[in-house]
Amino acid sequence: MALSAEEKERFLRAVEEDREFRYALMGLLGFKELLERFARLEERQARLEERQQRLEERQQRLEERFARLEERFAKLEERQQKLEEELVRVRRLAELNRRDIGALTEATLSRWVWEDLRNELAERGETVVSRRRNARVDNVDIDLLVETSRRIYVVEVKIQPNHHDINELVAKARKVMELRGKEAIPVLASVWVGDETARYAEEKGVKVIQY
């Protein structure tokens, strides 16, 4: 309610003349300022609490998202482990099949080589002293070792030979010759020999029998 001119005048005179009234008025004004400051602080606190609540909600959503991601990663790791186990199993089966095929090929070609050599040796008048498959001479493994009265034939069976195989065969024949004191003939039996490999074998003195 607005004050009249007379009331305003009395109020101002009381402020000027009455010290106790003036102090009381100043106290009231200070209390009001404090109340306003408290109100502003409470408002600020409310905003902070609201912000904190939003942050907590966001954190909760993030934790839920991380939980879903961890679950997904766990499933992926489990799937990867199963795939790796399956790959190992397939590789083992492939290795077993490869060994079986290799062993069968070696046995078949060794028999064919022996039949061809036997006829060739008979024509040359060489008497066969011994014949051994999977022979071992001084820690050297040999697919087929045929010894005659004159020579020793060191036979290696390879499905698709290369220069390294030929060098190993020559080294085996040289070792056998040193140990047995007879001429050793390196023989390479295969189902497929490339032209370059065949020329290299000829240069190294290796007899090639291809089927």
The one-digit pLDDT tens for each residue of the chain (211 residues) are 565 777 666 666 665 666 676 666 666 666 556 456 656 767 888 888 888 889 888 889 988 898 898 888 888 888 888 878 887 887 776 676 766 666 777 778 888 989 888 888 988 889 999 999 899 988 889 999 999 999 999 999 998 899 999 999 999 999 999 999 999 999 999 988 999 999 999 999 999 998 8
CA–CA separation, 129 vs 146, rounded Å?
8
Architecture per CATH, domain 108-210, reads as: 3-Layer(aba) Sandwich (3.40)
Q: What is the pLDDT of residue 144?
A: 94
Q: What is the pLDDT of residue 159?
A: 84
Supply the DSSP string of the chain, one letter for each residue: -PPPHHHHHHHHHHHHH-HHHHHHHHHHHHHHHHHHHHHHHHHHHHHHHHHHHHHHHHHHHHHHHHHHHHHHHHHHHHHHHHHHHHHHHHHHHHHHHHHHHHHHHHHHHHHHHHHHHHHHHHHHTPPEEEEEEEEEETTEEEEEEEEESSEEEEEEE-SS--HHHHHHHHHHHHHHHHHH-SEEEEEEEES---HHHHHHHHHTT-EEEE-
Name which of 159, 157, 155 is nearest 172 in CA terms.
Answer: 155
Q: What is the pLDDT of residue 170?
A: 97
Q: What is the pLDDT of residue 146?
A: 95
Per-domain boundaries in the chain:
108-210
Q: Which two tokens stand for residue 15?
A: 């402020």
Q: What is the pLDDT of residue 156?
A: 94
pTM of the model: 0.53
